[in-house]
Amino acid sequence: MVEMRKPVLVSEAVRLVMEHSYLGGTDTIPLEHTYGRILAEPIIAKHDVPSFDRSPYDGFAVRAKDTEGASGDNRIQFTVIGEIGAGHVATSGIGPREAYRIMTGAPIPDNANAVVMLEQTTEGKDRFSLRKPFSEGENISFKGEDAKEGELLVESGAFIHPGTIALLATFGYATVKVAKRPIVGILSTGTELLDVSDELVPGKIRNSNGPMIAAQLTRMGLGYKSYGMQEDDLDACTEVVRKALIETDVLITTGGVSVGDYDHLPAIYERLGAKVLFNKVAMRPGSVTTVAVLGKKLLFGLSGNPSACFTGFELFARPAILAMQGANTPYMPRMQAILGEDFGKPNPFTRFIRAFWEMTSEGIVAVPAGFNKSNAVSSIARGNCLIALPSGTRGYTAGTHVDILLLGSEQGVSEWVL
Ligand code: AMP
Ligand code: MG
């Protein structure tokens, strides 16, 4: 008898996976290797930024009160008493109608409280004249205006991107505490599978899921352990999964999770004593997507169908792997787009359509990326987003507003909203 599986909603499946995603542990690594990692400590300003009042322009540092009454008819003359380049400090303060020539980034000398931009002066060699008054603080980049000492600037769990690295460098973090990354294994199952370099023979197909998942992990900045391809042999497969679980924190398998005669993953989970969180999700493609846990280890049983496999990874494996690192924005960003063409199929389950979005004169338009069945591979290649159509809806006509989930954005969002 074919086993009856109870589908869980996508949101429930996401919740279940995230609830079981915890790894813990940190690495302290050199700043230059932190791009793409998850911060395991908050960035708290160690000092004011800037740490001294400085000039944001090339110009002259003056006392505002000396500029009072300046106009086209009443030019006020200043004497230049020295020059301050970035990285240097003035040797003295300034007196009445004196000025320092000052460069961008240089500290404001004592007594000065305004900067006159070079373009606003009529310049002589050691003198210049002004045609307008300046107020106190004008054109000064103040100590602490960017960040105040002790201020929480970036929370632990943030994705480290180039901007984060700039901030870490500002505060002298030569090394940074980041979350440990899980070790992820990939195993492609199916007697029909050939290697990428093999010639096609009748009944066989090349393994596209293995390289695809590897690249999905690479896109997340993660390495992986490949367990290659396994024929649909229960004993042999069980042994590979058992070995992989010793060596990895997360094992992603493709194929063999359905209810066919050669779909052995359910039996393998049972043999290994893994707890199945769900084995059917109310979604298309990928309704057979299965997630199981064994201790702290996660097993993602993705469908062999390429589009389903791809979608299962993005919806469940990706946020879980990020959550294992304590990431606080693990989900794909969502936007609204105008559906670019009719999509006639009814949607008994939530449907994820590989699609291409772009900004047009009408706004953001998303067009399904071609042949969109769960076994499609071409539409994955053309898509840059997933259109998400809620369950219980009929066909959609072009022009309707739809939700889209963005693929490949390095910074996600903190909540699953569909
Ligand atoms: P399964 O999930 O094992 O029932 O496989 C579903 C479909 O996906 C079948 O048509 C398989 O031939 C195909 N398939 C399974 N594994 C892969 C793979 N690694 N790469 C591409 N297609 C696959
Ligand atoms: Mg199979």
Confidence at 123, pLDDT banded by 50, 70, 90? confident
Question: What confidence score (pLDDT) does residue 2 get?
Answer: 61
What confidence tens digit (pLDDT) does each residue in 292-311 have?
999 999 999 999 999 999 99
Is residue 186 pLDDT above 80, yes or no? yes
Using alpha carbons, select from 350, 54, 24 the residue that is nearest to residue 180. Answer: 24
Report the mean per-residue pLDDT for the chain.
Answer: 96
Cα(188) to ligand 1 centroid in Å equals: 9
Pocket mutation for ligand 1, best pick of 186, 209, 258 (most atoms within 8 Å of C-beta): 209
Question: What confidence score (pLDDT) does residue 1 get?
Answer: 54
Confidence at 371, pLDDT banded by 50, 70, 90? confident
Question: What confidence score (pLDDT) does residue 302 get?
Answer: 98
What confidence tens digit (pLDDT) does each residue in 41-55 have?
999 999 999 999 999
Is residue 391 pLDDT above 60, yes or no? yes
Question: What confidence score (pLDDT) does residue 122 get?
Answer: 82
Question: What average pLDDT does range 70-78 have in this prediction?
Answer: 96
Question: What average pLDDT does range 13-39 have in this prediction?
Answer: 97
What is the residue type of 401?
H
Is residue 258 pLDDT above 70, yes or no? yes
> 306 in ligand 1 pocket by Cβ < 6 Å?
yes
> 193 in ligand 1 pocket by Cβ < 6 Å?
yes
Residue nearest (by alpha carbon) to ligand 1 atom 15? 304
> 27 in ligand 1 pocket by Cβ < 6 Å?
no
Beta strands in 50-174 (DSSP E): 59-62, 76-84, 98-102, 114-117, 121-123, 127-130, 152-154
Using alpha carbons, select from 140, 171, 162 the residue that is nearest to residue 35. Answer: 162
Question: What confidence score (pLDDT) does residue 326 get?
Answer: 97
**Rounded to two decimals, what is the model's pTM?**
0.95
Whether the CB-CB separation of 160 and 34 falls below 8 Å is answered with yes
Question: What confidence score (pLDDT) does residue 233 get?
Answer: 98
Whether the CB-CB separation of 293 and 299 falls below 8 Å is answered with yes
- Residue 348 φ then ψ, to 5°: -65, -35
Confidence at 272, pLDDT banded by 50, 70, 90? very high
140-144, 255-259, 371-375, range with the lowest pLDDT: 371-375
Question: What confidence score (pLDDT) does residue 61 get?
Answer: 98
Question: What average pLDDT does range 242-253 have in this prediction?
Answer: 98
User: In terms of residues, how long is the chain?
Assistant: 418
Question: What confidence score (pLDDT) does residue 80 get?
Answer: 97
Cα(207) to ligand 1 centroid in Å equals: 8
Cα(256) to ligand 2 centroid in Å equals: 4
- 252: Cβ–Cβ under 8 A, 6 or more apart, which residues? 184, 185, 186, 187, 213, 300, 302, 313, 317
**Nearest ligand to the C-alpha atom of residue 304:** 1
What confidence tens digit (pLDDT) does each residue in 309-328 have?
999 999 999 999 999 999 99
Cα(232) to ligand 2 centroid in Å equals: 7
> 304 in ligand 1 pocket by Cβ < 6 Å?
yes
Residue nearest (by alpha carbon) to ligand 1 atom 14? 304
Whether the CB-CB separation of 315 and 10 falls below 8 Å is answered with yes
| End-to-end Cα separation, the chain, in angstroms | 34
- Long-range (24+ apart) CB contacts under 8 A made by 190-196 are 190/229, 190/231, 190/232, 190/254, 190/255, 190/256, 190/304, 191/231, 191/232, 191/233, 191/262, 193/229, 193/255, 195/229
**Nearest ligand to the C-alpha atom of residue 191:** 2
> 305 in ligand 1 pocket by Cβ < 6 Å?
yes
Which two tokens mark 359?
């900004």
**Nearest ligand to the C-alpha atom of residue 188:** 1
Taking the C-alpha atoms of residue 341 and residue 396, their distance in angstroms, rounded to an integer, is 9
Taking the C-alpha atoms of residue 213 and residue 229, their distance in angstroms, rounded to an integer, is 13
Cα(216) to ligand 2 centroid in Å equals: 21
**Nearest ligand to the C-alpha atom of residue 308:** 1
Closest atom of ligand 1 to 210 CA is: 19
